C-alpha cells in the first residue's frame, strides 16, 4: 500500500490584498491560529509529515506554533520573497530531495474546507497511486477562477483560467488541493518552466500543463464548504465556518467564567476561561467569547467572535463581527466588521454597515474598487488603531495599523497605516 503523502503547506506569499490585516495563516479563529487548527486537523486525518513554506516575517511564529504538534513530523522552509506558487513549492525540494517518488499534497492554510475533501483526495490516491489528483469544486454560478477540462472518466486534460461564464469547459473550479503522485517529477517540471523566458509567474500551472500530457491527472469532485481568505472581509466568512461548529453544542461555559444573574446566554455560545458577562449583557449564539473577555453591562454580542482579553464595554453591540485580542470597545456599535488586535473603538462610534441604496458594499484593494458581494459590511480595522469617540466608518472602509481617527470623524475612505485623521469643526462662540 502507498504511503500517506507529505503535505506541502503554503503559508508564505504576499498578503497585500488582506491589508490592513496581516499574516492570514496566523489569524486566530477561537483560541489558536488558523495554521495550528489546520495542522491538528491534518494529523487527525492521518497525515504524518508536512513541509510548511513560510516567509521571512512569519517563520519564527510558525516555528513556535509547530512545537505544539507532536504527532506529525513538520519541517519549515522559507520563501524569502513572494515570487509565486511555483517558487514556493520548490522551497520544499530540499526536504524531499532524497525521496523524489514521495507523493505530495499541496494545500494553503487559508483555504478552509471540510474534512471530506481531504479524505476523498487520500482515498482516491490510495486507490490508484500512480495518478495525480486535483480537487474540482462544483460551482453552478460563474466564478472567475481556473476551470478543469475533464473527460467522462474524470481525467483532466487542462485548466482554463477565467474562461467567462459562457465558455466554461466544466463546472469544476480548481483550488489548491493538489495531490501529486511524484514529488520529484513535479519539482523538475516547475524548474523547467523557470528556464523559459515567459514573464508570467504561473510556473506551477504551466508545469502541471506539461505533466498532464505525460501522466494521468484525475479530478476529485467536491461540493462541500470552501472559504478562502483572499480579501480582508473574508475573515467574516472563515469566522462563520468556526461559529457553525458551535451549532448544536449548546452553552459551553468555562468553569472560571462569570455570568451575571441577569445576563443572557442565548443559543449556542462558547464562553472561555475567566471571561465575564456582566449584568444585563447578552451573548446570542452562535458566538465565541474568548478567555478573559469582558462583556460589560448591557452589552450585546451576537453571531460574532471576540478573542481573549478584549473588552466589550457598556451598551456596546458586536454583531456579525470578528474582534481579535486586546480590543477595547465602549458604548459603540461594531457591525459586520473586523477589528484586529489592540484596536480602541471608543464610545459613540459606529461602523455603518448598510448603503442607503441597499446596494452591495464595495471596498478598495490596491487602488481598485472591489465588489465585496456583501449587502452588509462595516469596517476593517488594523492592529492598534485608535478610533476616538463618536467616529463613524462608512461601509467597506479600511483603517490601517496604528492609525488615529479623531472624534466625530466620518471615515469615508481608507486610512493608511499610522495616519492621523481628524475633522475640523467651524465653531461659533456667542457671548
Shortest separation between residue 253's beta carbon and a copy of itself, angstroms: 17
Nearest to 222 by CA among 278, 191, 180, 178: 178
Nearest CB to a copy of itself, comparing residues 27 and 323: 323
Contacts of 318 (CB under 8 A, 6+ apart): 299, 300, 301, 302, 304, 306, 312, 329, 334
Specify which residues 147 forms β-bridges with.
Answer: 160, 173
Nearest to 6 by CA among 65, 68, 48: 48
Q: Strand 380-381 vs strand 338-339: parallel, antiparallel, or unpaired? A: parallel
Shortest separation between residue 167's beta carbon and a copy of itself, angstroms: 41
First to last CA, the chain: 92
Nearest CB to a copy of itself, comparing residues 186 and 405: 405
Residue 116 three-state SS: helix
Q: Is residue 422 reached through a cis peptide bond, with omega within 30 degrees of 0 on the bond before it?
A: no
Residue 165 three-state SS: helix
Stretch that binds a copy of itself, among 73-81, 183-191, 304-312, 330-338 (CB under 8 A): 330-338
Nearest CB to a copy of itself, comparing residues 111 and 336: 336
Nearest CB to a copy of itself, comparing residues 128 and 422: 422
Quote the crossing angle between the two packed helices 34-44 and 59-66, to the nearest 10°: 40
When asked if residue 408 is in the footprint of a copy of itself (CB under 8 A), the reply is yes
Shortest separation between residue 14's beta carbon and a copy of itself, angstroms: 24
Cβ atoms of 319 and 300 within 8 Å: the answer is yes
Nearest CB to a copy of itself, comparing residues 166 and 426: 426
Locus of grid cell 472560571: 256
When asked if residue 94 is in the footprint of a copy of itself (CB under 8 A), the reply is no
Nearest CB to a copy of itself, comparing residues 274 and 407: 407
Nearest CB to a copy of itself, comparing residues 156 and 385: 385
Shortest separation between residue 201's beta carbon and a copy of itself, angstroms: 32
Stretch that binds a copy of itself, among 64-72, 110-118, 236-244, 295-303 (CB under 8 A): 295-303
Shortest separation between residue 329's beta carbon and a copy of itself, angstroms: 13
Nearest CB to a copy of itself, comparing residues 194 and 258: 258
Shortest separation between residue 315's beta carbon and a copy of itself, angstroms: 5
Nearest CB to a copy of itself, comparing residues 181 and 298: 298
Shortest separation between residue 399's beta carbon and a copy of itself, angstroms: 12
Cβ atoms of 168 and 146 within 8 Å: the answer is no
Nearest CB to a copy of itself, comparing residues 165 and 428: 428
**Residue from the set 58, 181, 298, 372 that interacts with a copy of itself by CB under 8 A:** 298
Measured in whole angstroms, the distance separating CA 238 from the mean position of its chain's CA atoms is 6
When asked if residue 420 is in the footprint of a copy of itself (CB under 8 A), the reply is yes
Task: List C-alpha distances in Å: 396 to 7, 51, 302, 341.
Answer: 36, 36, 20, 19
Shortest separation between residue 341's beta carbon and a copy of itself, angstroms: 17
- Binding to a copy of itself by CB under 8 A, coded x per residue (else -) over 300-329, reads x-------------xx-x------------
- What's the CA gap between 31 and 206, in Å, rounded? 39
Nearest CB to a copy of itself, comparing residues 100 and 406: 406
Nearest to 88 by CA among 181, 197, 198, 207: 207
Shortest separation between residue 327's beta carbon and a copy of itself, angstroms: 15
Beta strands in 88-184 (DSSP E): 104-108, 111-113, 132-138, 146-150, 156-161, 172-180
- What's the CA gap between 195 and 220, in Å, rounded? 31
Site for a copy of itself, residues 343 to 402, rule: CB under 8 A: 346-348, 350, 352, 354, 356, 386, 388-390, 392, 394
Shortest separation between residue 285's beta carbon and a copy of itself, angstroms: 13
Cβ atoms of 317 and 300 within 8 Å: the answer is yes
Site for a copy of itself, residues 252 to 281, rule: CB under 8 A: 260-262, 264, 266, 278-280
Contacts of 324 (CB under 8 A, 6+ apart): 27, 28, 307, 310, 339, 340, 341, 342, 343
Count of residues in contact with a copy of itself, rule CB under 8 A: 54
Cβ atoms of 380 and 21 within 8 Å: the answer is yes
Shortest separation between residue 22's beta carbon and a copy of itself, angstroms: 20
Binding residues for a copy of itself (CB under 8 A): 260-262, 264, 266, 278-280, 282, 284, 297-298, 300, 314-315, 317, 330-331, 333, 335, 346-348, 350, 352, 354, 356, 386, 388-390, 392, 394, 404, 406-410, 415, 418-431
Amino acid at each position: 500500500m502507498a504511503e500517506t503523502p507529505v503535505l506541502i503547506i503554503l503559508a508564505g506569499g504576499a498578503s497585500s490584498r488582506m491589508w490592513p490585516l496581516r499574516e492570514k495563516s496566523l489569524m486566530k479563529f477561537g483560541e489558536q491560529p488558523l495554521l495550528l487548527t489546520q495542522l491538528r486537523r491534518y494529523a487527525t486525518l492521518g497525515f504524518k509529515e508536512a513541509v510548511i513554506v513560510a516567509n521571512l516575517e512569519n517563520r519564527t511564529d510558525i516555528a513556535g506554533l509547530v512545537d505544539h504538534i507532536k504527532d506529525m513530523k513538520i519541517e519549515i522552509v522559507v520563501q524569502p520573497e513572494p515570487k509565486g506558487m511555483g517558487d514556493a513549492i520548490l522551497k520544499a525540494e530540499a526536504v524531499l530531495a532524497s525521496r523524489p517518488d514521495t507523493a505530495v499534497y499541496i494545500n494553503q492554510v487559508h483555504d478552509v474546507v471540510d474534512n471530506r475533501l481531504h479524505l476523498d483526495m487520500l482515498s482516491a490516491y490510495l486507490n490508484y497511486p500512480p495518478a495525480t489528483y486535483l480537487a474540482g469544486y462544483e460551482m453552478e454560478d460563474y466564478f472567475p477562477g481556473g476551470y478543469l477540462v475533464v473527460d467522462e472518466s474524470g481525467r483532466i486534460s487542462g485548466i482554463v483560467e477565467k474562461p467567462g461564464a459562457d465558455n466554461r469547459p466544466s463546472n469544476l473550479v480548481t483550488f489548491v488541493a493538489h495531490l501529486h503522485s511524484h514529488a520529484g517529477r513535479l519539482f523538475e517540471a516547475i524548474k523547467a518552466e523557470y528556464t523559459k523566458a515567459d514573464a508570467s509567474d504561473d510556473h506551477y500551472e504551466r508545469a502541471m500543463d506539461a505533466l498532464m500530457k505525460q501522466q494521468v491527472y484525475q479530478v476529485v469532485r467536491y461540493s462541500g464548504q470552501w472559504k478562502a481568505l483572499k480579501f480582508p472581509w473574508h475573515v467574516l466568512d472563515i469566522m462563520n465556518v468556526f461559529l457553525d461548529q458551535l451549532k448544536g453544542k449548546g452553552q459551553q461555559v468555562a468553569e472560571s467564567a462569570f455570568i451575571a444573574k441577569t445576563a443572557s446566554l442565548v443559543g449556542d455560545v462558547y464562553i472561555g476561561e475567566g471571561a465575564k458577562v456582566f449584568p444585563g449583557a447578552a451573548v446570542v449564539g452562535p458566538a465565541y467569547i474568548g478567555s478573559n473577555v469582558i462583556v460589560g453591562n448591557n452589552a450585546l454580542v451576537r453571531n460574532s467572535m471576540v478573542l481573549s482579553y478584549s473588552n466589550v464595554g457598556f451598551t456596546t453591540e458586536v454583531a456579525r463581527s470578528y474582534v481579535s485580542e486586546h480590543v477595547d470597545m465602549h458604548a459603540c456599535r461594531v457591525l459586520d466588521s473586523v477589528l484586529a488586535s489592540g484596536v480602541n473603538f471608543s464610545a459613540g462610534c459606529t461602523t455603518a454597515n448598510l448603503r442607503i441604496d441597499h446596494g452591495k458594499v464595495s471596498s478598495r484593494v490596491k487602488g481598485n474598487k472591489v465588489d465585496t458581494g456583501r449587502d452588509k459590511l462595516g469596517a476593517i480595522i488594523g492592529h492598534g488603531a485608535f478610533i476616538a469617540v463618536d467616529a463613524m466608518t462608512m461601509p467597506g472602509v479600511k483603517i490601517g495599523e496604528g492609525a488615529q481617527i479623531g472624534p466625530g470623524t466620518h471615515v469615508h475612505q481608507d486610512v493608511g497605516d499610522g495616519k492621523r485623521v481628524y475633522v475640523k469643526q467651524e465653531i461659533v462662540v456667542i457671548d
